């Protein structure tokens, strides 16, 4: 049995499965996430977010899989009765992209839904996430990486019902520098990481995403003025999490408590999964236990 402090992971994503009252933890789990050959993704399971079984092998690539490194940020969504993993991959002489994998079980094994990423083949992209709009149409929201565009962008593409193809051109939702809290690197680059969509109790569509802030890696909140994925988007000045942690997502416990999952600190190899209770009041999200 493992504790949170025992699990080295980046980009932690929690999938609560009510059928077995179990939380499944996915994330970037390779020993060396920045260099070397990618291994795959592991998953852990828990009933209390403190004691974990695993790791279990959620995905291991076949010999003919196109990518060989930078296996990053898997997240798993239930859609049409199956479990779909959205994950980032990279190969030499090929752009980084988000590919969709599928399984009949939350533990996997996950297999590629198609032979290539859904993100544009000539864009350096990462951190794709699933969003279902009010018409039940699926979208992927993802980052167009600062490595290619300097001012990182968050974009959206509409997906086919079977999630196999993009059926629209990419839409730029906003650039990182549009938020008041983002801080550029020495090269003048602005990062966008880890978008996650959440509709609050008032019906507003919010987006959590990460970038460099005044005190390091941080999580901000943006809001769609139209309530739709296409925006336009505005940006809260106050950060949800402001120092040395990020790539957050929200989930509800089986007891109905809203939670934030993130990794902290943001320095390898010390990243660990961290969970905070969240209070939602008047459309605003607040950490209840800011440690």
When comparing pLDDT for 223 and 187, which is higher?
223
Q: For residue 28, name the pLDDT band (cuts at 50, 70, 90).
A: very high
Beta-strand runs (E) in 30-145: 41-46, 51-59, 69-79, 82-91, 94-103, 111-112, 125-132, 138-144
pLDDT at residue 186 is higher than 80: no
User: What is the signed CA dihedral for 101, 106, 108, 114, rounded to 10 degrees?
Assistant: -10
SS3 117: coil
Q: For residue 291, name the pLDDT band (cuts at 50, 70, 90).
A: very low
Report, in angstroms and rounded to the nearest whole number, the Rg of the chain calculated over CA atoms.
18
**pLDDT for position 185:** 87
Over residues 16-32, the mean pLDDT reads 96
222-276 confidence digits (pLDDT tens) = 999 999 999 999 999 999 999 999 999 999 999 999 999 999 999 999 999 999 9
53-97 confidence digits (pLDDT tens) = 999 999 999 999 999 999 999 999 999 999 999 999 999 999 999
CATH superfamily of 2-287: Glycosyl hydrolase domain; family 43 (2.115.10.20)
SS3 208: strand
Six-digit token pair at 67?
A: 């990518």
The mean pLDDT of the chain is: 96
Distance separating alpha carbons of residues 144 and 123, to the nearest angstrom: 7
Distance separating alpha carbons of residues 32 and 240, to the nearest angstrom: 28
This prediction has a pTM of: 0.97
pLDDT at residue 39 is higher than 80: yes
Burial of 113 (0-12, 13-18, 19+ CB in 10 A): middle
Find tokens 């890696």 and name the residue: 217
Distance separating alpha carbons of residues 100 and 232, to the nearest angstrom: 27
Show me where the domains of the chain are located.
2-287
Find tokens 């060396």 and name the residue: 32
Closest CA relative to residue 166, chosen from 205, 194, 125, 196: 125
Six-digit token pair at 141?
A: 């929201």
Long-range contacts of 161-164 (CB under 8 A, 24+ apart): 161/137, 163/79, 163/84, 163/100, 163/113, 163/118, 163/138, 164/100, 164/113, 164/114, 164/118
SS3 87: strand
Q: For residue 119, name the pLDDT band (cuts at 50, 70, 90).
A: very high
**pLDDT for position 289:** 76
**pLDDT for position 32:** 86
Cβ-count burial 84-111 (b if 16+ within 10 Å, e if not): bbbbbbbeeeebbbbbbbbbeebbbebe
**pLDDT for position 31:** 87
SS3 51: strand
Six-digit token pair at 258?
A: 């809203």
134-182 confidence digits (pLDDT tens) = 999 999 999 999 999 999 999 999 999 999 999 999 999 999 999 999 9
SS3 6: helix
Say if residues 262 and 247 touch (Cβ distance below 8 Å): yes
The Cβ of residue 48 has, within 10 Å, a number of other Cβ atoms equal to 9
Find tokens 């930078």 and name the residue: 70
SS3 176: helix
**pLDDT for position 182:** 98
**pLDDT for position 290:** 55
């Amino acid at each position: 049995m493992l504790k949170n402090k025992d699990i080295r992971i980046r980009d932690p994503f929690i999938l609560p499965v009510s059928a077995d009252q179990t939380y499944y933890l996915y994330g970037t789990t390779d020993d060396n996430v920045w260099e070397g050959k990618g291994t795959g993704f592991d998953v852990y399971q828990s009933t209390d977010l403190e004691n974990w079984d695993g790791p279990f092998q959620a995905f291991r690539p076949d010999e003919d899989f196109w990518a060989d490194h930078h296996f990053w940020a898997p997240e798993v969504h239930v859609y049409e009765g199956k479990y779909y993993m959205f994950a980032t991959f990279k190969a030499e002489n090929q752009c980084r992209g988000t590919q969709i994998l599928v399984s009949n079980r939350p533990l996997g094994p996950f297999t590629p839904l198609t032979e290539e990423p859904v993100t544009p083949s000539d864009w350096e992209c990462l951190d794709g996430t699933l969003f279902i709009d009010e018409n039940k149409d699926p979208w992927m929201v993802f980052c167009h990486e600062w490595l290619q565009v300097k001012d990182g962008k968050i974009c959206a593409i509409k997906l086919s019902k079977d999630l196999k193809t993009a059926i629209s051109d990419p839409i730029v939702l906003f650039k990182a520098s549009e938020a008041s809290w983002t801080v550029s690197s020495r090269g003048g680059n602005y990062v966008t990481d880890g978008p996650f969509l959440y509709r609050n109790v008032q019906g507003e569509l919010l987006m959590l995403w990460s970038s460099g802030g005044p005190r390091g890696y941080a999580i901000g909140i943006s809001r769609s003025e139209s309530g739709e994925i296409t925006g336009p988007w505005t940006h809260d000045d106050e950060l949800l999490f402001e120092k040395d942690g990020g790539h957050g997502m929200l989930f509800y416990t089986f007891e109905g408590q809203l939670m934030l999952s993130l990794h902290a600190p943001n320095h390898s190899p010390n990243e660990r999964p961290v969970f905070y209770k969240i209070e939602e009041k008047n459309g605003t999200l607040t950490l209840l236990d800011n440690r």
